[in-house]
Amino acid sequence: MEIKVVRKVLDVNNTIAEQNRKLFADKNVFVLNVMSSPGSGKTTMLGKTIGRLMPEIRTAVIVGDVSTTNDADRLAKTGAPVVQVNTDAFGGDCHLAAHVIAKAAENFDLAEVDLLIVENVGNLVCPAEFDIGEDAKIVVLSVTEGEDKPLKYPLMFRVCDAAVLNKIDLLPHLDYDKNEAVRNIVQIHPGIPVFEISACTEAGMEPWVIWLKEKVKEKHV
């Protein structure tokens, strides 16, 4: 006998994500989910970004990490409150789930936070599928990865609201076709803003920071 079920497998996660979204809306907190493959420069780029946001935009950070690295310490240097979470709570080490964010967010006084940045686990596959209750998702790609990354991970580039192409300071030393990379991103997600930056030299940071500030302010009006 066939019994109809018709439920999303990720129902539980989606429900908690909606609760998070409501909580963050009540507290006027803009939530940014930052994803990338390992080592593309999320922590470096976020450190530099937060430096340009604070104190105007009060920022807090949740860092997801598979093992203990010093990402949290590095980001705490910006003066922003930082919480590091382990990611083995949902049957794997590959992404942050909504309940992990709910728990981690308890560590902050959200009334004192305008922007909550979540540095997701370095992985271009799984985080794309897990809603955490964020307002925007971005993906960081570095020029040391293949130009065809967007074509290999279409869901990630589809779901993101902006893409950051990092480490452009290395371009002179590489045989990397930046235009092809951007073309591939836009092919997957027409119209997506792509910010070409170097987190190290801080080249190109300004347009990205302006985009983020605008997003945060949109939520506050």
Partner 1 sequence: MHEMGIAMQVVEIAAASIPEHLKGSRVQGVYLKIGKLSSVVPDSLRFCFDIVSKDSAIAGATLYIEEIPVTARCKSCDHHWTIDGPAFSCPRCGSATIVLTSGQELDIASIEIEEKPIGDQETV
Q: Which residues within the stretch 49-88 sit at the binding site for Mg ion (CB under 5 A)?
A: 71
The C-alpha R_g of the chain, in whole angstroms, comes to 17
Neighbours of 152 (CB within 10 A): 13
Rounded least distance, CB 73 to ligand GTP, Å: 12
The answer to whether 35 touches 127, Cβ cutoff 8 Å, is yes
Region from 21-29, 36-44, 54-62, 93-101 binding ligand GTP, contact rule CB under 6 A: 36-44
Cβ-based neighbours of 75, under 8 Å, separated by 6 or more: 43, 46, 47, 50, 61, 63, 82, 119
**Least distance in Å: CB of 167 to ligand GTP?**
4
Residue 110 C-beta: closest distance to partner 1, Å: 27
Question: Which residue, 16 or 116, has its beta carbon nearer to ligand GTP?
Answer: 116
74: left (phi over 0), alpha (psi -120 to 50) or beta: alpha
Which H or E run includes 181?
A: helix 178-188
Considering beta carbons, is residue 48 or 189 the nearer one to partner 1?
A: 189
Binding mask 52-81 for ligand GTP (x = CB under 6 A): -------------------x----------
Exactly one of 54, 76, 102, 200 binds ligand GTP (CB under 6 A); that residue is: 200
For helices 42-53 and 205-220, what crossing angle results, to 10°? 60
Is residue 43 near Mg ion by the rule CB under 5 A? yes
Report the interface residues with ligand GTP, using CB under 6 A: 36, 38-44, 71, 122, 166-167, 169-170, 198-200
